[in-house]
Amino acid sequence: MMNLYHKIILLQQLDKLTYERAFINKLEGSYNASSIRQWHNIFKIAINASVENEILPRNRFKKVSIVSNEDEVKNNYLTSSQLVTLINDAKKNESITNYSFLLVVAYTGVRRGEAMGLMWKNIDFKNKTIKIERTRDHFGERKPKTKNSYRTILVDDFVIQQLENYQKWCKKTLCSYGQMLNNDTFVFISDHGAGPISNFKRPLDRSLDSTALPKITLHGLDIPKVKSNS
CATH of the domain at 91: 1.10.443.10
Closest CA to 107 of 135, 127, 78: 78
Q: Are 209 and 147 found together in one domain?
A: yes
Q: Are 138 and 186 found together in one domain?
A: yes
pLDDT in tens, the chain (230 residues): 435 444 554 667 777 777 777 777 767 656 667 777 777 788 888 878 878 877 778 787 776 766 555 444 556 778 888 888 999 999 999 999 999 999 999 899 898 889 999 999 999 999 999 999 999 987 788 998 788 889 999 999 999 999 999 999 999 999 998 899 999 999 999 877 668 887 666 778 888 888 888 888 777 775 444 333 33
| pLDDT score recorded for residue 90 | 92
Domains of the chain: total: 2
Q: Are 61 and 122 found together in one domain?
A: no
pTM, two decimal places? 0.65
Position 7 in a domain: yes
The C-alpha angle 103, 150, 107, rounded to 5 degrees, equals: 15
| pLDDT score recorded for residue 26 | 67
Q: Are 21 and 96 found together in one domain?
A: no
| pLDDT score recorded for residue 225 | 40
Q: Are 94 and 18 found together in one domain?
A: no
Position 226 in a domain: no
CA–CA separation, 100 vs 121, rounded Å?
17
| pLDDT score recorded for residue 115 | 93
Q: Which domain range does residue 12 map to? A: 2-68
| pLDDT score recorded for residue 146 | 83
In DSSP terms, 123 is beta-bridged to 130
CA–CA separation, 51 vs 127, rounded Å?
63
* Domain final residue pick, 68, 84, 107: 68
Position 142 in a domain: yes
Q: Are 157 and 120 found together in one domain?
A: yes
Q: Are 144 and 178 found together in one domain?
A: yes
CA–CA separation, 20 vs 5, rounded Å?
24
Position 49 in a domain: yes
Are 5 and 55 in contact by the 8 Å Cβ rule? The answer is: no
